[in-house]
Structure 1
């Protein structure tokens, strides 16, 4: 299976990167409701008319690994609403020279899914840009409930194309 994965090196120690990953409001979505740091925690958010999701934390190894289970998900731009449900989202944190290697994997997000292009591009933005900035500079670029980050604009375009009967870009 070709699960989506992306890796970056962040110029901070593992404990700083790990702490940034736990702060999902600071890099993924400001509107997250619920705790985001301990095994059993459940959290979620909604970008009105576009995306709603709920995660459960299933694994936390301090300064090393965090795993989320997708327990509910809705995308306005796909027909198959089972996409993402049951997927595992993993953050692996490993010391790397003077920094930290962060590897993000979504087990179940594979080429061929309707959301693959939009979702993989969104994760690249949120992990490589927003999460990196939060860890290195203390200020990420999270989405809001209004959907103002770049990935939301691409997802909205896909939703509009689907509604018009065209293939999403």
Structure 2
């Protein structure tokens, strides 16, 4: 944690996991309110134990980072314009717009799937980031809220390279399928839309 003045605040502390009937009790012994890192680390443990670990145990849901690179024959501006118009290439119905910072939009497939998203980063012709703020899948209540879809464009003469990152939630049993869907959507549908 490079932001700490005292890099030794965790030295001598203990992470304790107690398994009780129907319950996990987690304690970071030695992490006290007088420590500089107390507030941020306490919040971090709530996320790691209360969300990430709980989702994994209950649903075999894991946080994953998947990256993909796609070469385009078109310039960055043309590809960026297509990324910002996902209604033309995303494989679900879309409501709303994704063409500027803080734009909100929804993807849905009838009652089977729904995700509300917001544009959290927007650098014209270079980078756009979508954050899923609310989601649900009807068949199993799978929730991928907090997932980020990161599109970064790097010019290459008259062409460009897209560096895509999926940073978020997936059911462990569906991780390979997620990779295949991202690959297919970006390498085929987005390439066709940008063409």
Aligned 8 A contact 2:92 2:109 in 1:
no
8 Å Cα contact 1:9-1:96 kept in structure 2: no
Please say if residues 4 and 109 of structure 1, whose CA atoms lie closer than 8 Å, have aligned partners that are also in contact. no
Structure 2 distance, partners of 1:128, 1:104, is 11
Are residues 49 and 118 of structure 1, via their aligned partners in 2, closer, same or farther at CA, if it must alter by over 3 Å? Answer: farther
Larger radius of gyration: 2
1:64 equivalent in structure 2? 126
Task: Identify the structure with the greater strand proportion.
Answer: 2
How many pairs are equivalent? Answer: 133
Contact 1:71 1:86 in 2 (8 A): yes
Which residue of the partner structure matches residue 23 of structure 2?
A: none
**How is 1:29-48 mapped onto 2 (pairs within 5 angstroms)?**
29=91, 31-48=93-110
RMSD over aligned CA atoms reads 2.0
TM-score (norm 2): 0.62
Q: 1:130-149 alignment to 2 at 5 Å?
A: 130-136=189-195
Aligned counterpart for 2:151 among listed residues 91, 98, 123: 91
- 2:174 counterpart residue number: 115
TM-score, normalization: structure 1?
0.71
Aligned partners of 1:109 and 1:116 also within 8 Å: no
Structure 1 match to 2:6:
none
Runs of 4+ with >6 A deviation: none
Q: Partner of 2:112 in structure 1?
A: 50
Structure 1: segments with no counterpart, 5+ residues: 137-169
Does 1 or 2 have the higher relative contact order (CA < 8 Å, sep 6+)? 1
User: Shift in Å at residue 29 of structure 1?
Assistant: 4.1
Measured at CA, do residues 116 and 107 of structure 1 come closer, stay the same or move farther in structure 2, by a change above 3 Å? same
